[in-house]
Chains A and B, each alone.
Chain A
Amino acid sequence: MTEATIRPPRRRRSRSEINPLDYLKRPWMQLTLFLSFLFLYFPIVTLVAFSFNDSKRNITWKGFTWKYYEKALNNDSLHDAFVNSMIVAGTSTVVSTALGAMLGLALHRYRFPWKGTYEGVAHLPIVIPEICMGVAMLVFFNAIGMKLSLTTITVSHIAFTIPFVAVVIRARMTGFDVSLEEASRDLGASEWQTFWHVTFPYMIPGLVAGALMAFVLSLDDFVITFFTAGVGSTTFPIKIYSMLRFSVTPEVNAASTVLIVITLSLTLVAMIVQSRWAKGRQQ
């Protein structure tokens, strides 16, 4: 018998032949996804597009220009705010990555009394409304008599990014094989050596992803910063806020676009790092 005779007669694919659970093949699902993505992207895309628009009013397209970027670049207070944001995000990322990684590791590794409660409290900064945390920090710094400055912003940012880093590290550690540590100890390495040569290298992708996440969260934060920033410690989002309260100009769009480009590229780097390592682990 030849192959051709075994093959069933070719039929037209009818609707009923789509696997009933293959929802993505259904037109209504495709339409829903398309509309949702349109909803998610339309505002941002138009915002970015109109930062290049050669018109003071953000309504009709008048031609391409870089002039609002030049204007934003030459805006000294915007420039200062950007530098402030970088200082805050950089410092808080270093501290919160170190502390958050240790926290994540400890939560992954140890069993201890009241662990559930501890975790609940430690993860509270993720779930409570930002404004509650913002006013709490304001009250605290006021009570201890600390003047609001870049330091108070940084301290607050560290506190709210620690749990995020811990979550990322913990997720990374779930794939860790404890027998590697046991082998290292059996072969005579001290606990310290085992940590640096076995556990730590395994954590690195999580550390990179956690650090990038902390950086982006800090750089983007508005509400907590709003309450902990004093005179002369304006960050980039705070500056954008005061600009757009004053008037909505393409210059605000240009400044926003700069921030979007920075955070999106950092996020993409974090995702690529994680997926590379995930692939490496599978092989």
Chain B
Amino acid sequence: MEDWRKNKGAFATFLGPASFWLLVFFVIPLILVWVYSFGERGPQGQTYLALNFENYLRAIEPIHLGIFWKSVWIGAISTAVCLVVGFPVAMGIAFAPSRWKNPLLLIVVLPFFTNLLIRTYAWIAVLRTRGFLNFGIEWTHEKLDGLATLAGFPEAMGDFVPLELLYNQYAVIIGLVYVHLPFLILPLYATLEKLDRSYMEASLDLGAGQWRTFFSVLVPLVMPGIVSGALLVFILSMGNFLVPDLLGGTDSLMIGNLIAREYGAARDWPFGSALSFMIMYPVFIFFVINAMAARYRTHKRAAA
């Protein structure tokens, strides 16, 4: 790596245009939202600049705090499910023979490249009252009913009542897991792949079982991958707007829907801005901590 002062002209040429674009069309808009979050809503839905914390106070009123809390909760559950489902998959691929790795990875990432909206929509057909899942259950029910009748208990199974699988928070969780699974599998795979296997071999040789090796050796070693993947999935799940919008019902209004409503029908931009920054603050705090930790590690290495 070169020092930037060695060739200031080239440095500015390469870094300048993208910096300009991101500054004007990303950083300034974000700052604007931040400024708006202290503003006031006019009678016609205009925004007046001001300096009050009313929007934030409103955001922590019980009704909004409840939605916020629900988003955190749904985000946390989705992340946990993603971890439980994604870890074995990442492990299976990372420990696969090398000729199998790329095909398996491709299978995992391909759905990720299809449209988010379409992937969410696809679940409607699976989960709705006359959807594939209920169809499968009904079929099983019918067969079981037939068996029960044969066995001499014609009333044993009762009538089939389709399950209400769509438009509730379970559907939202399924959708969020489905949409974000690759975000967890990929970083986990990357860390597992780089892992020095001799640690695991040593543990197994020294008499620890597979489970013990897994929890006492493997998991601590890949913790950075787990944390970064899980945090990304958590942030994206918590702030998701499309999945609860399409698959959720009245019980699963999330912070993203609330923001969209304030910017849309309710036309209260200052409040919407405050809500949007309620998601952004934790993200920023996390990044600052992360950057400080990285700086600390390099300083320690330099000192050693």
Contact = CB atoms under 8 A, between A and B. Distances in A.
Interface of A: 20-24, 29, 32-33, 36-37, 39-44, 46-47, 50, 57-59, 98-100, 102-103, 105-106, 108-112, 116-117, 120-122, 124-125, 127-133, 135-140, 143, 155-156, 158-160, 162-163, 166, 191, 216, 220, 222-223, 227, 237, 240-241, 244, 248, 252, 256, 259-260, 263-264, 267, 271, 275
Contacts of A23: 91-92, 95
Interface in B167-216: 178, 181, 197, 200-201, 204, 210
Contacts of B295: 116
B92 A137 contact: no
A32 B88 contact: yes
Contacts of A106: 11, 14-15, 18
A183 B280 CA distance: 47
A159 B21 contact: yes
B56 interface: no
Given A24-B92, A112-B11, A267-B110, A39 B178 contact: yes
Nearest to B23: A121
B122 A139 contact: no
A20 B92 contact: no
Nearest to A141: B29
A-B residue pairs, 10 tightest by C-beta: A129-B239, A43-B122, A140-B29, A103-B18, A106-B14, A136-B29, A112-B4, A99-B18, A106-B15, A159-B25
Contacts of B156: none
A135 B271 CA distance: 12
Contacts of B115: 220, 222, 237, 256, 259-260, 263
A137 B200 contact: no
Contacts of B280: 128, 132
Contacts of A124: 26, 287
A191 B10 contact: yes
A260 B259 contact: no
Contact of B21 (A41, A137, A162): A162
B33 A136 contact: yes
Contact of B123 (A43, A111, A127): A43
Nearest to B125: A58
A258 to B, nearest CB: 10
A126 B146 CA distance: 54
Nearest to A152: B25
Given A43-B119, A132-B276, A143-B32, A21 B114 contact: no
Contacts of B150: none
A131 B239 contact: yes
B242 interface: yes
Contacts of A59: 130-131, 135
B14 A44 contact: no
Contact of B26 (A100, A125, A216): A125
A138 B3 CA distance: 38
Contacts of A136: 26, 29-30, 32-33, 276
Given A136-B29, A264-B114, 5 more contacts: A21-B200, A98-B17, A110-B15, A122-B22, A136-B33
B161 interface: no
Given A162-B22, A240-B118, A131 B241 contact: yes
A46 B89 contact: no
A130 B130 CA distance: 32
B221 interface: no
Interface string B46-84: 000000000000000000000000000000000000000
Nearest to B246: A244
A50 B125 contact: yes
B85 A39 contact: yes
B13 interface: yes
Nearest to A271: B106
A46 B242 contact: no
Nearest to B107: A37
Contacts of B3: 110-112
B137 interface: no
A222 B111 CA distance: 16
